[in-house]
Structure 1
Amino acid sequence: MTDIAATDQRLAGKRMIIAVLAALTAFLAYSSVYAYRKPFTVATFDGLRFWNISYQTLLIISQVVGYMLSKFYGIRFISELRSLGRFRTGMILTGSAWICLLLFALLPAPWGMLPMFINGFLLGFMWGVIFSYLEGRRTTDFMGAVMAVSFIFAGGFTRTVAKWLMVEWNVAENWMPFFTGLVFIIPLIFFLSMLERIPPPDDDDRRERTVRVPMTSADRKKFLKQFGAGLIISSVTYLFLTVMRDIRDNYMANIWNELGYGSDYSVFTRTETNTSLLVLLIMGMLVLIRKNIRAFSFVHVVILAGFLIAGISSALFINGMMNGATWMQLVSLGLYMGYIPFNCIFFERLIATFRVAGNVGFLIYFADAFGYLGSVTVMLAKEFIRLQLNWSEFYSYGVVIGSLMGIAGVLFSYRYFRGRYHHSKA
C-alpha cells in the first residue's frame, strides 16, 4: 500500500509539473502572438482623418472586423480542428499576419486598412489553436487561467515594447508594428513548437472532464437545441464584456494620455501586470473545486463580482470620487474577472458538467463572434453619432451601462444552467 501511495504521489507531482510548464508555454506563446495584433494601437496617427473618421479608429475597426469575421468562421474551423498540423497552422497564421504588418508599413494611408483587416482575420484563430492543447484536463482551469492572463499582461508588455521602439529608437508609427513583430519572432517559433511536446490528456482527465472531440455540424446543432437559450444569454453577457474590454484595449493609449500619463510608456506593463497577478490568483482557486457544477456556479459568482467592481469604480470616477489611475486599475480588474473565465473556464466547466461530446472551441468562438460584432458597432456609433465625449468619459459611462446589463445576464445564466442541471439529475 505504501508503494502504491508513493507511486500515486509521484504521478500527481509529475502531472503538476506538466501542468505548470504547459501553462507557462501557452501563456508565452499567446503573449508572442499579441505582438502581431495590438502594438499598432500605441500609434495615434494624429491629424490623419478619412471620411471624417480618425485613421487610428479606421485601422482599429478594420482589424476588429477581420477578427470578428474569423470568429464567425472559427465556429466551424476551430470546432473541427484536429491535433495533427496545429503547429504548422499556427505558424502560417501568425507569419502571414506579420507580412500584413510589412504591407501596412509600405502602403500609404488609408490603404493600410486592408492589411490590418487581413491581419485581424488571421490572428482571430490563434486563441482556439493554442487553447486546444490545454482543454479537457483536470488542470485546465489553472492552465487556461494562466494562458488567459496573457490578454492582460501581453497587451501591456507588447505596447511597452512598441512605445520603447518609438521613443528610444525613433521608429516611425507605420513601421513600429512590423518591428515589434520582429522582436518576438524567435520566441513565437520556440513556444509554438514547445506546445507540440505537451502530453495528451490521460484516462483520469477524460473520465473527469470528458473526451474532447471535433464537432460536426450535427453536433453543433444538437448542442444549440439542448442549451440554446443559456448559450445565447451567456453570449450576450460576454458581448458587454468584450465591448468594454476591447475599447479599453484598443484605446488604452488615448485614455492614459487624457489622464496625464502620455509620456510614461511603462504604465502599460506596470498596471496590467498587477491585474494579471490578481486575476490569476482568483482563477487559480477553481482548480481546488473538483465537482464541475460547483466550479461552474462559482465562475458565475466571479463574473458577477467583476461587473460590480467595474461598474462601481466607473461610477465613482464619473462623480469625481476616484482618481483616473485607480479607476483604470479597478476597471481592468473587474473586466478581466469576467472576461477571462469566459475564455478558459466557463465553457470548459459547462461541457464537463453536462458531459457534452465536443470541445470548448465551438462555444468560445460562438460567443466571441457576437462579442466582436458588438465592439465594432459601438466604435462606429461613437464616430458617427458625434458624441461630445473624450475616450475616458465615453468609456466610463459605457462601463456603467454595460455592467448593469452584464449583472442581469449573469443572474439569468446562473438560474438557467442550475435549473437544467437539477432537471437532468431528477
Structure 2
Amino acid sequence: MFTPLSLFVGWRYTRANRSNHFISFISLVSTLGLMLGVAALIVVLSVMNGFDRELKERILGMVPQASINGYDGSLSNWQPIREQLLVAKGVEGVAPFVQAQGMLTASGRVQPVLVTGIDAALEATVSIAANQMKQGDLNSLKAGEYNIVLGELLARFLGANLGDKVNLVLPEASVSVAGIVPRMKRFTVTGIFSVGAELDANLAYVDIADAARLKRIPTGEIEGLRLKFANLFDAPNTVVSLARQLDARVYTSDWTRTHGNLFQAIQLEKRMIGLLLFLIVFVAAFNIVSTLVMVVTDKQSDIAILRTLGATPGRILRIFMIQGSLIGFIGTLLGALLGVLLALTVSDLVAWIESVFGIQFLSADVYFISYLPSELQMGDLLLIIAVSLGISLLATLYPAWRAARVEPAEALRYE
C-alpha cells in the first residue's frame, strides 16, 4: 500500500530508535505533558460547569428568580395580579410569599433562619422544594396548624426531627402585661428538605397565612409574588417590564441581586482557571519544540541524503511537522480520553474518598453546595482538543523550518 514519504519518515522518527534514546524520552515526556494538560483542563472545566449547573438548578430553584413586592410591605388584591402575570410571555409560574428573618430555638440551641411563608399548592410552580423533601411533605403546611419544614442542616443543628417542637423568635417586639417581649411562636416540624447546599442550613417554610399572622399583615394580603421564567437570564429585565404594567405600587427584585455575584464569580473563575491550565499545554508544546530541534540536529545527515535523493525543502518541512503533529495528536487523544473518564466519574470518586477516609472536602457551612459536581460539555471538549492540536502544530513550525534549511553539502562534509 502506498504511503506518502513525509508521513512514512515522520512516523519512523516519532518511534523509539536505538541511536538516541534521550530524544525518544523527551518525545515521551512531551506526549505525557500534553496528555496531562488536556485531561486537567477537561476535568477542571467540567467541575466549574457542574458548579454553574448546581447554582442554576438547585440554588436558583429554591430562591426566587424574581419577585414583585408590595411597596408598603404588603400586597392586597393579589389574585388578579397573579393571573395577569401568568399570561405574560416567558413566565412559567407565579406564587405568593411572606418572608421573615428570625431565630429558631430547640433543645437549648439557637440558629438564625429565613422563614418563607408559602402556599404549598402553588409553590411547586416556582420552586423545586417539593421535589427535595427528605422527610415529611410540603403539603403538611396548612393554615392555623403552625407546621414548619426545615432544611436538613438546620434540623441537624437544632436536633429537631419530625414531630418535634421548635420556637420561632422574630426581631419585633410585642407589648404585654409583662412588658416588651420578642414575638415568639411554637411550630411543629412536619418536613425536612435537602438540596445539598447552603440553603439547608438557613431556610425554613411555613404556611403563608401563619407567616402573615406573625408579621401582622392584614388577612388576605401577602408580601409579594415570586416568579419563575422559562429563561432565568430574562428575569432582571422582564420583571421590571411586568411591574410597570401593574396598577399596584410595587418594587422588584431578582436573582442577580441576591446570587448574581456568586454566578459571576463562577464564570470568572472558569475563565481564569482555564487560562492558567492552558499554560500546561504551552509547556508541553515547548517540549515538542525542543524534541524536534534535537531530532533535526541528530538527523542532519539523513536530511542531507534525502535532499540529494530529490526531496524538496517543502517535503523536509512536512516530515518534521508530521512528527510533531503526531506527538500532539497522540497526547491530545490520550488526554481527552483520560479527561472524559475522570470528568464523568470525579463526583463518585470524591464521594468514595470522603466515605473511606471520613473527611469532607466541601462543607455546606463554607461552600454553597456540599459535594463536587461535574458536567462535561461537548463545546468545552471540542475547544480544548482544537486548541491543543493547534498549539502542537504551531510548535512544529520553527524546528521544521530549520530542517528545511539544512544544506546537504554542509551536513555531509564530515561524514
Give the TM-score taking structure 1 as reference length: 0.21
Between structures 1 and 2, the one with greater helix share: 1
Give the TM-score taking structure 2 as reference length: 0.22
Bigger Rg, which one? 2
